[in-house]
Amino acid sequence: MVATVTEAQIDALAEILEERERATKEGVKNFVEPAAGTLVRVKSKRDHFIFGRRGTGKTSLLTKANVDLRGEGHITAEINLGDFSTHTYPDLIISVLITLFEGLQLCVYEYYQKAKKEHVEKTGFWSKLFKRNDNPRLKRIEYMIEEIKAIENELRGVLYAEDGATIKATTVAESAASGISRVGVGIETDVVNIEATEATSKTRKDTKGLEEAYKRNKIDYLKRKTIEYSAIIKKVYNNAAKDTYIFLDDLYRINWEDQPRLLEYIHNLTYRKNAWLKIGTIKYRSNWYQDGKPPLGLRLGDDAQEINLDTTLNDFSATKNFLRKVLLGFLNEVSIPKLDTIMTDGAFERLVLASGGVARDAIGILRRGLGVEREKQKGTLPFRLDAESINTAAGEYVDSVKSQDFNNDGTADLTHVFDSIKDFCIRKNKANCFLFDMAATKLKADIIAALADLRVIHLARVRETVSKQPGQVFQAYMLDIGFYTGIRKIKGLDMIEFWKTEQKEKLRRSSYIFDI
């Protein structure tokens, strides 16, 4: 007999799910590894890229690793690069450095307070009485904290220098209109000292020239300071005797051309300093290495290793188990013992498909499904979601979340190809899946991979063959459920249950082969 839930439990669960749709430090207690050993790898002494679609748990993994490592006494700094999405080079690097040193200073200070307390507790009565409790190591840490503060303050002055330049450039031009032929322009910092010669009344031209000069000076400044910043990071290790971990989340959200520049600069500071970079991002939207003389950024396999968080429908059983663990963590918070207490087996299976294995999408769809089911049942008990409620919720989720993500992250080319896929599946073949040739050009393969990263199609099978196409190998993809169920339900659409052995042959049709 299946236990029942109360209205209060449903309300509490809906509230928790809404709060946890986005990664938070409070959500660390519900963290579930997408694959065994993932957390251990992120905490290891190696630079890593953590790749995954939106909602696969990149931020949760980095946050969990950060909490654990700080608890073990390591020095860490957590930087959300999305905060700097509008910044351009070199201000981007300056802003990230300010945040980096703020994080290091806070962590070092916490370490200092702990070390000071331990030192005082170990100091005997007579040493305290005669003030013999001065500790050289603590003094060095105090001095290092002051050094980091000074670096932060100087960086802020450099960051805002351009704003001052713009204002003073206007003054230059206005003064020139009054007959002044030469005006000195500077800012209160040792970084720049620029003179405007024969300023004219063309304010915009003069302003742009000064801005470029300030930009050039900032770049030169950053180059000169590399050794100093690198030395500070080394000092952190020498004084704390623990490794430093720097978490850079959402690399993909900053300007494409600036991504390798940022990685190159930060890596130069941390290389061989017992400091490790952990970089979370979406793979197809990231530019981590730029070949050239010299090259920029980090090379996968050489400079940094890859950790892929994507759980796909290809291993349907493993993905179901992962999502079950994720959801049970929330259910346990409201004293619901089992998943089948609130949903049928068919509803859970549909939820796995609708989410494509992405934890955040499963959470969001389930939350909406609770609302759909409550509206349908009109307060009657027992409360239990069915597959149709999940279908409707999946459609709502496409409208409110996935479409918005697609508009933000997609391109005109991706939109065109996705429209072709929808037409191919829904109108031409009337099937939820399609096949894509693994031998296709890199450009075509990248487009399909990008659409999978955007969660509008989902990898269903890694390798499939077609009897009428000997020697060719295909990948099978499923069109996201939200585009053809619920209010968008398409009559006569063949729902291929590709994860079931008896349905495997249905995928191996030449008519399902899609080409861009």
| CATH number, position 98 | 3.40.50
Same domain, 12 and 55: no
Residue 24 forms part of a structural domain: no
Same domain, 388 and 240: no
Domain ranges, residue 443: 411-512
Same domain, 456 and 326: no
Residue 26 forms part of a structural domain: no
| pTM, to two decimals | 0.84
CA distance 355 to 456: 10
Nearest to 240 by CA among 149, 121, 99, 104: 104
Same domain, 121 and 241: yes
Residue 148 forms part of a structural domain: no
Residue 296's contacts (CB-CB under 8 Å, 6 or more residues apart) are 260, 261, 263, 264, 289, 290
CB 119 within 8 A of CB 248: no
Residue 134 forms part of a structural domain: no
CA distance 4 to 9: 10
Question: Tens-digit pLDDT profile for the chain (516 aa)?
Answer: 556 889 999 999 999 999 988 766 666 777 888 888 999 999 999 999 999 999 999 999 999 999 999 999 999 999 999 999 999 999 999 999 999 999 999 999 999 898 888 877 776 554 554 454 567 888 999 999 999 999 999 999 999 876 544 444 444 444 444 443 333 333 334 444 434 444 444 555 555 666 677 788 899 999 999 999 999 999 999 988 899 999 999 999 999 999 999 999 999 999 999 999 999 999 989 999 999 989 999 999 999 999 999 899 999 999 999 999 999 999 999 999 999 999 999 999 999 999 999 999 999 999 999 999 999 888 777 889 999 999 999 999 999 999 999 998 888 999 999 999 999 999 999 999 999 999 999 999 999 999 999 999 999 999 999 988 888 999 999 999 999 987 778 888 999 999 998 888 899 999 999 999
Residue 331 forms part of a structural domain: yes
Residue 356 forms part of a structural domain: yes
Same domain, 246 and 321: no
Query: Measured between alpha carbons, how far apart are the two ends of the chain, in Å?
Result: 51
Same domain, 344 and 382: yes
247, two tokens: 């978490």
Residue 202 forms part of a structural domain: no
Where does a domain end: 407, 442, 469? Answer: 407
Where does a domain end: 308, 331, 359? Answer: 308
Nearest to 108 by CA among 75, 77, 138: 75
Same domain, 366 and 448: no
Amino acid occupying residue 481: I
Same domain, 289 and 369: no
Where does a domain end: 266, 286, 308? Answer: 308
376, two tokens: 């349908």
Same domain, 398 and 458: no
Same domain, 267 and 255: yes
CA distance 397 to 178: 62
Residue 242's contacts (CB-CB under 8 Å, 6 or more residues apart) are 72, 73, 74, 75
Structural domains of the chain, count: 3
Predicted local distance difference test score (pLDDT) of residue 42: 97
Helix (H, G, I), strand (E, B) or coil at 380: coil
Q: Tally Cβ neighbours within 10 Å of residue 324.
A: 16
306, two tokens: 């890859």
235, two tokens: 């000092």
CB 206 within 8 A of CB 171: no
Same domain, 360 and 439: no
Residue 136 forms part of a structural domain: no
Same domain, 109 and 232: yes
